[in-house]
Amino acid sequence: MKKALIVWGGWDGHQPEQVAALFQQQLEEEGFQVNVQSSLEAFADAEYLKSLDLIVPVWTMGEIDQKLVDNVSLAVQSGVGLAGCHGGMCDSFRKNVDWQFMTGGQWVAHPGNDGVQYTVEINNSSSYLVDGISNFEVSTEQYYMHVDPAVEVLATTRFPIVDGPHVLNKAVDMPVAWTKRWGVGRVYYNSLGHQANIMEINEVKEMMRRGFLWCAEGKALAQSGEAAAGAYTGMQDNQL
């Protein structure tokens, strides 16, 4: 049985407890043993983290001890998956660039705030993770992100839609969902999820389900050696 850790907290406006409960249900339906914690001290036991298949952070706008980030990073480098959404993963710890490097991006703005109507455009040629999912409309925050150019983009949204100081720039297709690698671990992110109701949209729920499974499957591949060729070998150094 695969094992997952969900850690929720931070800013209450993102309904972290409710989102964590949805993710717990989703993972348990897929046969995971799920441990749900509401303290960042859940990241304190480095060996426990390495025993997991998947880590799911649901924590917005907090501060974190560097040692805890190092523990998560080393676990992911060893093959443990890391998957999350919205500010719960890519606006978790604004002061910690190591976390941002690992996750692949950082929120910087949501022009128009909540309730912006926009299209999520699926990059159907990018990955089987989005096979069969069509473009869809949402009314929620539209995340403008600073994104690692190494990520594989699965879906985008077009800016600008609402007015602001960014509108005189050329139109940009901002990543909404992506994957990347960290060591031999797999990382998945989806910028949707301002509140729990967004995570219950069929397309969003399916995208997260596939992301969770893809990330968790990476550990077995890493242990078998299939993912290790050319991988970073400094995992024991506690350095990023």
Owning domain of residue 82: 3-105+177-237
CA 81 – CA 217 distance, rounded (Å): 8
- 164 within a domain of the structure (yes/no): no
Sign of the alpha-carbon torsion through 29, 35, 40, 44: negative
- 165 within a domain of the structure (yes/no): no
- Each residue's pLDDT, cut to its tens digit, for the chain (240 residues) gives 999 999 999 999 999 999 999 999 999 999 999 999 999 999 999 999 999 999 999 999 999 999 999 999 999 999 999 999 999 999 999 999 999 999 999 999 999 999 999 999 999 876 899 999 999 999 999 999 999 999 999 999 999 999 999 999 999 999 999 999 999 999 999 999 999 999 999 999 999 999 999 999 999 988 887 555 444 444 333 332
- 89 within a domain of the structure (yes/no): yes
- 67 within a domain of the structure (yes/no): yes
Q: E strand or H helix at 179, and its extent?
A: strand 172-182
Report how many domains make up the chain.
Answer: 1
Buried-exposed string 204-228: b where 16+ CB fall within 10 A, e elsewhere: beebbbbbbbbbbebbeebeeeebe
- 36 within a domain of the structure (yes/no): yes
Give the CA dihedral 123, 99, 236, 47, nearest 10 degrees.
-100
Domain CATH for 231: 3.40.50.880
- 13 within a domain of the structure (yes/no): yes
pTM across the whole model: 0.93
- 162 within a domain of the structure (yes/no): no
- 119 within a domain of the structure (yes/no): no
